[in-house]
A and B are shown apart, each in its own frame.
Chain A
């Protein structure tokens, strides 16, 4: 926004400077949990399952080992100014190929965070006029490394090749009411979540032809209602968060409705504003709730297990969380943030839309794992009266 009068422009410049200063200071502090001690869920004395590990705000947060200020805004290799790259307001996140792909709405970009190389990169296709983004909300990566960005400003899904160049934009063929808010890939198909028409459009990944649609079912209570995010599990089942009924709905790739979890409410297992969703290798479902400012975790039968990230912690709380991704890659890189004895098995990345002034990072990184020596057995069943005989093989 351009201020017209000089005084306003000056004020806004000053405001920006102040904000940048605050951000820089804040960013410098975020991600360091020294002097706080490990933050676990569930809290002690229970055996811990999840720990807040660290936060990512700037390229410094992944580039500590390598060049301190190493970053490359443009992959093409032209002049690279050595400055620290900061993350802007973001929504969707995906983890693939040992990297994180973040949809930065604020900067109208997608940034590729590479903790192995220690750099932030952006696809070169962003410079291509055809590949310029307006409102990138969600991202997905297919098995060959192609990047798919759902852009609600353009009303299209923009595709970039693994090397970053612009490939194509999908969506012109959809009706005007269409609004693709999320994208996922499974085997040979591309799944586009259309919040406008309330369905999932299934496209053949190679040809881009729409094969079918899912999510509209005649039976009551089985259709999508204002869906916002979706995720696949390892077995190919689809989980969609719905703002309209505050539920996570499960479908198979034939479009058959298989169940749901949630419902509006303030009990554990209910949702108020469900957003990002991710499923790990064990089938655990992670659902971000922006109103409760936390992530709820369900097992593969959609029974509630626990929650984490709620407000009130000195570190590890979320603030208007949105996108979420889970991954088993780069465990060794983040293991060093874990408390002694806590072995991280799954990494959870949650995007915070707000909170940087309160030291809430743009991306909060949590580890799901086990503490050495802790007792994870369920409590023993109540003792029967007669326990005189030794327990025999059944």
Chain B
């Protein structure tokens, strides 16, 4: 008799165990759904065996062949919203989240990666399953994009910023680029787009084919705004080499901020002499302007103020030596109108116009214009035969050693007086000239 009651009780308990859905028995511990919880990071309800919080039974018995035993408690996002914060608080939403399609990214029961995602820290396989992968195959990639840390910048669900960014673009960038932010604050001169526009105006935040993942390579990017410079890059006869070399505009200018004007790293002359103050730079080598001007008594006009660009256009020009107007390249040049426009931009425009003058030059014998005699008359001697272009110890920037005439330097032996002067050059016999009392030459 007693044996029978134990057996019945055992049988009843067994039945309950098998058939009673909420009586301590969990779905995942039986042989039917064991795999569901077998993940590194199970979904909390799954971990607690609380299948009923999502799945509600449709029939008393389960499983029944041919019918669905359970239905979801709610559809789509509404189901998840029962425990998780609902979407829709912020204006922009990630499409799957908006559509309530949470499971397109999150595995509802559990995953071997955090956040119920299929992908780990490198979200590339997950995100690029919907998003175009082309931008992420560029030559130069932004760190986070390169390693798939999409969520370093983008909120996967919703945001008030465009592109689901986690914050305003500039603050977002400077949040990581904090050292840049600090020096930017202290900078004397800031490139206006850096001050007023988001970084993405110049940089592609994912990557690009240009160094520093600029949207376009330099100088194309720069001339989009600096249109006048564009005119100088295409089709000038004498371009400035750094513009076409690697680094482009940044060979002289900083793209972001600087200590000196015009976004230069230092004052104008220091920048120029960085290259033009060396002995063996380039083929053929650039003339060392530093040795030309160092320690000299007289500097040519604007050089006194540390300006090279008063005469030489740093972006290039259509004239020899990137000058603002014509200037012959050779020692001798037959004179014609406009040949010396570069010099006459500043110097007396009528200097070479008249054979006789008492007004336009002090280099005259009586009224006989000796500049005309030398430059305009006969074969035409250019300014460089007598004058240094940058600096000299002699008055009027006269060359002490003389112009290079092949293997020789033609000395001038110029001496100035109050009303004139004299030259005993290697070109002709010694002549004296006097403005007041014209010398007679025999």
Interface residues of A (CB under 8 A from B): 236, 252-254, 256, 389-394
Contact = CB atoms under 8 A, between A and B. Distances in A.
Q: Is the interface of A mostly helix, strand, loop or mixed?
A: loop
A307 B54 CA distance: 93
B50 interface: no
A389 B353 CA distance: 46
Interface in B45-101: none
Given A389-B224, A394-B226, A394-B228, A254 B192 contact: no
Contact of B359 (A236, A390, A394): A236
Given A236-B359, A254-B356, A254-B358, A390 B225 contact: yes
Contacts of B358: 253-254
B357 interface: yes
B163 interface: no
Q: Is the interface of B mostly helix, strand, loop or mixed?
A: loop
A251 to B, nearest CB: 11
A253 B358 CA distance: 8
B50 to A, nearest CB: 56
Interface in B347-387: 350, 353-354, 356-359, 367
The 9 A-B residue pairs with the shortest CB-CB distance in the complex, in nearest-first order:
A394-B228, A392-B225, A392-B226, A389-B225, A256-B354, A254-B357, A254-B358, A254-B359, A252-B359
B229 interface: yes
A242 B224 CA distance: 54
A236 B357 CA distance: 14
B363 to A, nearest CB: 15
B340 to A, nearest CB: 19
A256 B358 CA distance: 11
B189 to A, nearest CB: 11
Contact of B354 (A254, A389, A392): A254
24 contacts: A236-B359, A252-B350, A252-B359, A253-B358, A253-B359, A254-B356, A254-B359, A254-B367, A256-B354, A256-B357, A389-B224, A389-B225, A390-B192, A390-B196, A390-B225, A391-B225, A392-B225, A392-B226, A392-B227, A393-B226, A393-B262, A394-B226, A394-B228, A394-B229
A252 B354 CA distance: 11
Contacts of B350: 252, 256
Nearest to A394: B228
A252 B262 CA distance: 42
Contacts of B193: 390
Contacts of B357: 254, 256
A12 to B, nearest CB: 56
A252 B356 CA distance: 12
A30 B359 CA distance: 46
Nearest to B228: A394
| Most chain B C-beta atoms within 10 Å of own C-beta, residue among A256, A391, A392 | A392
Contacts of A390: 192-193, 196, 225
A198 B193 CA distance: 66
B260 to A, nearest CB: 14
Interface in B206-233: 224-229
B192 A392 contact: yes
A236 B192 CA distance: 47
B243 to A, nearest CB: 15
A253 B354 CA distance: 12
A390 B193 CA distance: 9
Contacts of A393: 226, 262
Nearest to A389: B225
Contacts of B262: 393
B398 to A, nearest CB: 26
A217 to B, nearest CB: 12
Given A253-B358, A392-B226, 6 more contacts: A253-B359, A254-B354, A254-B367, A391-B225, A392-B227, A393-B226
Nearest to A253: B359
A256 B353 CA distance: 10
Interface in B176-214: 192-193, 196
A133 to B, nearest CB: 34
A8 B194 CA distance: 94
Interface in B262-318: 262
B255 to A, nearest CB: 12
| Most chain B C-beta atoms within 10 Å of own C-beta, residue among A254, A389, A391 | A254
Contacts of B196: 390
Interface in B318-363: 350, 353-354, 356-359
A254 B356 CA distance: 8
A303 to B, nearest CB: 17
Contacts of B359: 236, 252-254
A389 B227 CA distance: 10
A213 B193 CA distance: 64
Contacts of A253: 358-359
A256 B372 CA distance: 15
A394 B228 CA distance: 6
A302 to B, nearest CB: 15
A82 to B, nearest CB: 52
Contacts of A391: 225
